[in-house]
Structure 1
Amino acid sequence: MSTNGIEMIFLETHNWGKAAKFFQSLGYELEFDTGHNSGQLRNTTGPAIFIAEVPESREPGMQCVLGVDNLDELRVDPDIDVVSPADDTHYGTREMIIRDPDGRTWTLSSPLKND
């Protein structure tokens, strides 16, 4: 299996505005605001940070997203625990979730291929 490194950090928050302002104070610039309490920020030297607001009743999570050129061509070692097989998302990617030996989950993501 081979990835292209960290593509994005996905963060959940209870307050989109405060979270975005926090990262902007660290030098990140808003790439886009979805208009529904989420958006993407980036600085020039690293992966994007996508922040999504979740209800107060839910504990905010964080996920590291590793980039892959084409998820359908990726050969996953049979010893790797696949939590969620490759599937298309509503936001234009194809993603798979795997679990490392210590129980952390990782998202593998590739662009959707237009046939």
Structure 2
Amino acid sequence: TLAGLGVADKPGIVVFNKIDRMPERAWLEGMLEDYPGSVAISAKTGEGLDRLLDAILNQVRGLLGRVRALVPYSESALVQECYDYGRVLAVEYREDGILVEAEVVREMRARLERYPVPA
């Protein structure tokens, strides 16, 4: 189960695959209504993959939050992690450090918030 794996509280998407093998889609339409946000796809034909990608992107965007930080040069690896694990909106290399504005996951925001931008 998801709880047994320790991921029950993580976001997920219900995906109904092999829709190319379904001659009658009325059942599928009912299932899509029963599971809001679910997606029907055919990995074989590619049908619905665009909707699955949209659903994934929407969930990822929901996990990201904006942060501004003045990162010391000694911690510049954090800036690279912003590129690796989020979306960098702006970077400015200044005398007093690297000013970065990014959309990143909560854990990364907590690490960056240790370096507030002086007023």
TM-score (normalizing by structure 1): 0.27
> Max radius of gyration: which structure?
2
TM-score (normalizing by structure 2): 0.26
Larger strand percent = 1
* Higher RCO structure (Cα 8 Å, ≥6 apart): 1
Larger helix percent = 2
